[in-house]
Structure 1
Amino acid sequence: MTALAPYAALAAAIVAPVAVVAQQAPSRDLAAVQAHLRATESMTADFTQTDRNGKVLGGALTLKKPGKIRFQYEKGVPILIVGDGKAIWFLDYAVGQRSRWPIGDSPLGVLIDPSRDIAKYAKVVPGNDPSVLSVEAYDPKRPEYGRITLIFSRQASAPSGLMLQGWVALDSQNNRTTIRLSNQRFNVPVSDGTFRFNDPRKGARRS
C-alpha cells in the first residue's frame, strides 16, 4: 500500500454504492426536500470530508444538473471525482487508475438526478432541532448498500427554504463518511467544461 492509499479510500467513500430504495409515505418535509432538489439547477460550495478515524480532506464542489458533479480536492491530494452526465468517475492519479459507477448506483444521484422522487425511497429522521431537517435513504432488503442521510437547515433565502449542509454515508461495515458544505451558492452559471478530466491511465485520452 502506498502512502497515498488512505486518500483514495477516503475519497472513494463518497461514490461507493449506498442504497436509496426505502418505501415511505410522502410528508410535508419530504415534499420540501424534493422541491429544493428540483429547484437547484446548479451549486458551488466548499466541502470538508471526514472519515471514521477523523481524517479530513477539503476541496471545492461544483454541481450542475442533469448528472454533473465535481469534487476538486485540495492541493496535494491526487484524487478527483467527476460526474459527466452519464456516470460517476473516481480517478486516482497516484496509481493511474479509474473506476466508474452509473449515476443511479451512486448516492450522489440523489443530488444530480432530477427525475428521482425521494418520497419513494427516503424518510425524515426525527430530531430535536426544528431548524434542521435530516432525510435518510436506506434499503433494509439490501443492507450491504449501507445508508445515506442528507442534512438541511431551514433558511428562507435558499431554494424552497432549505440549505443543504452536507450528508453522512454509512456503509455495510459501519464506516462513516461525513461531508460538510460551506459557502453554498445556488443556480450560478457553471460551464460544462468543469466536468471534463484527464484520464489517469498512462497514454489515455482526455475525457
Structure 2
Amino acid sequence: MNPTLFRALAAPAIIAAAAVPLAASPASDLAAVQQHLRSIKTMTADFTQTDRNGKVLTGVLTLKQPGKIRFQYEKGVPILIVAEGGALTFIDYSVNQVQRWPIKNSPLGVLLDPSRDISRYAKVIPGYDDRVISVEANDPKHPEYGRITLVFARDAGAPAGLMLQGWVALDSQNNRTTIRLAKQRYGGAVSDDMFRWNDPRKKGPRS
C-alpha cells in the first residue's frame, strides 16, 4: 500500500474544512469549525480512501477525545493507523514495521486537540455552496509537509451544526489522497481498547 495517507496525516501541516456560504464571513465559519471540533467526544464513520492512482480502500474510523483515533482498513489490508498516547502510529503487519510520529506534528493534531486555536494556521476557502465549509491548512515555513483540507457540511443534527465529510491531503510530491466519510455517528460509547494495537515486532498489545 502507498503510505501517502499516513505521510499526510503525520506531516506537521494543519487541518482544514470545505466551501463556505457566501453570506457568512470566513471568521464566523472558522469559529463554527472550532466549536464543532470542541463539541465532539466520540465519532465513528465508514471511510473510503482514494490515492492519486485511483486505488480505493475502505474501512472504519473511530475517534475518541482526547487524542485517540483509529483507521481500521478493510479485511485483507495489513495496515493499521492509530493515534494514542501523544503519538500517531502506522503499523504494516505485512512487513512487521512500526512508525511513530508526535500527534502535535500532525494535521490530525487539530482534530485530536481541539483546544488549539485553528485560526492561527488554517483559513476558510471560499466556495459556491453555502451548505459546505472548507478550511485549508499548511505550514508556509515547511512546504515539504504538504497541505490538507477538511470538508464539513452544515447539518443541524450534528455537533455545532456541522458534519465532517472527509479531507484531501496533498504532499510535497503532489501525491493526492482523498478520504470520504459516511454513516458518521457521534456520541456513542467507545472503549479505550479500540486504540490498542498488536506490535508485530514483539508479543503483546500496545496502548
TM-score (norm 1): 0.90
Alpha-carbon deviations, 1:45-69, whole Å to 9, x = none?
0000011111010000000011100
Aligned residues: 198
- Residue 104 of structure 1: how far off its partner (Å): 0.6
State the percentage of identical aligned residues.
Answer: 67
1:136 corresponding residue in structure 2 = 136
Distance 2:8 2:45 in 1: 16
Residue identity opposite 1:160 in structure 2: A
- Residue 206 of structure 1: how far off its partner (Å): 1.9
- Residue 204 of structure 1: how far off its partner (Å): 4.0
Unaligned runs of 5+ in 2: 16-24
1:27 corresponding residue in structure 2 = 27
2:51 corresponding residue in structure 1 = 51
Distance of aligned partners of 1:119 and 1:87 in 2 relative to their CA distance in 1, 3 Å threshold: same
SS at match of 2:185: strand
Are 1:12 and 2:6 an aligned pair? Answer: yes
Alpha-carbon deviations, 1:118-158, whole Å to 9, x = none?
11110000111111110001122211111110100011111
Q: Is the Cα–Cα contact under 8 Å of residues 8 and 79 in structure 1 kept in the other structure?
A: no
Q: Is the Cα–Cα contact under 8 Å of residues 42 and 64 in structure 1 kept in the other structure?
A: yes
- Residue 95 of structure 1: how far off its partner (Å): 0.2
SS at match of 1:60: strand
Q: Is the Cα–Cα contact under 8 Å of residues 30 and 124 in structure 1 kept in the other structure?
A: yes
SS at match of 2:57: strand
Q: Is the Cα–Cα contact under 8 Å of residues 132 and 152 in structure 1 kept in the other structure?
A: yes
SS at match of 1:160: helix
Where does 1:97-176 land on structure 2 (aligned, <5 Å)?
97-176=97-176
SS at match of 1:63: strand
Q: Is the Cα–Cα contact under 8 Å of residues 51 and 176 in structure 2 kept in the other structure?
A: yes
TM-score (norm 2): 0.90
Unaligned runs of 5+ in 1: 1-6
Query: RMSD value over aligned CA atoms?
Result: 1.8
Distance 1:127 1:83 in 2: 32
SS at match of 1:15: helix
1:75 corresponding residue in structure 2 = 75
